Homo-oligomer: A and B are copies of this chain.
Amino acid sequence: MTREFVLLALKANTDGSFNLENLPSAGRIDLVCRCVSNALFISNAMRKNTIIHACLNGFPSSQSPKIVSFYGNSLRGMEWDELSIARFLQKALIAGRNLKLGEEKEVTPGLKVSKKAFETLIQEKAKKEEKKIFYLSEKGEDIRNKKFEGNEVFVVGDFVGFPKNTEKLLKRIGAEKIKVSPLTIMASHCIILVHNELDRREIL
């Protein structure tokens, strides 16, 4: 079963114009990298069944919104560490500087960039692809009590969380809130906990 994650990173840089030695100052590109790492890697291997879309809505606003998508089944040469992932992200964002709204480009195998809003992506997933959308929230139902059918998309917010209008949209398309922890934990940690719950059900 394909597993799909969507990260909404409201402050993250949108054109690759950031310093690799200071990822936090680029609207928390470090956080984006940790989410990508945790979504795609197990020990010494890539999760070929997993896709993660990083939706970047930060500066420069003229380049916003951008989505960089990583496909575990075809990505090559990317390592687990933040810097390695940041280089892929930067490459994709630079390649996407001339995209018009709605356009998409494959940068290298398994790495795509598009000029598209989070809201558009989520509506495509729910309507065209008929995916079931779950989003991580402290007020959600415990993931351990939920049933999954293999057509899920899991949405996580960054440190800013979901704006009210975004949460309204999520509700309107039938997305359900789930929680993975009794504490407010990082987006990248949520991804590990979602994977673990699905791993246990598929393999144990």
Contacts and interface: CB of A to CB of B under 8 A. Distances in A.
Contacts of A182: 199-200, 203-204
Nearest to A180: B196
A193 B193 CA distance: 7
A195 B154 CA distance: 21
Interface in A1-50: 20-24, 30-31, 34, 37-38, 41-44
Given A182-B204, A185-B42, A82 B80 contact: no
A192 B184 CA distance: 13
A23 B186 contact: no
B44 A159 contact: yes
A105 to B, nearest CB: 28
A107 interface: no
A79 interface: yes
A203 B185 CA distance: 14
Nearest to A200: B182
Number of copies of this kind of chain in the complex: 2
A42 B183 contact: yes
Contacts of A203: 182-183
Contacts of A83: 21-23, 30, 82-83
A192 B181 CA distance: 11
Contacts of A79: 24
A68 B193 CA distance: 27
A185 B30 contact: no
A146 to B, nearest CB: 15
A77 to B, nearest CB: 13
Contacts of A22: 83
A30 B183 contact: no
B186 A200 contact: no
A127 interface: no
A34 B82 CA distance: 9
A38 to B, nearest CB: 7
Contacts of A171: none
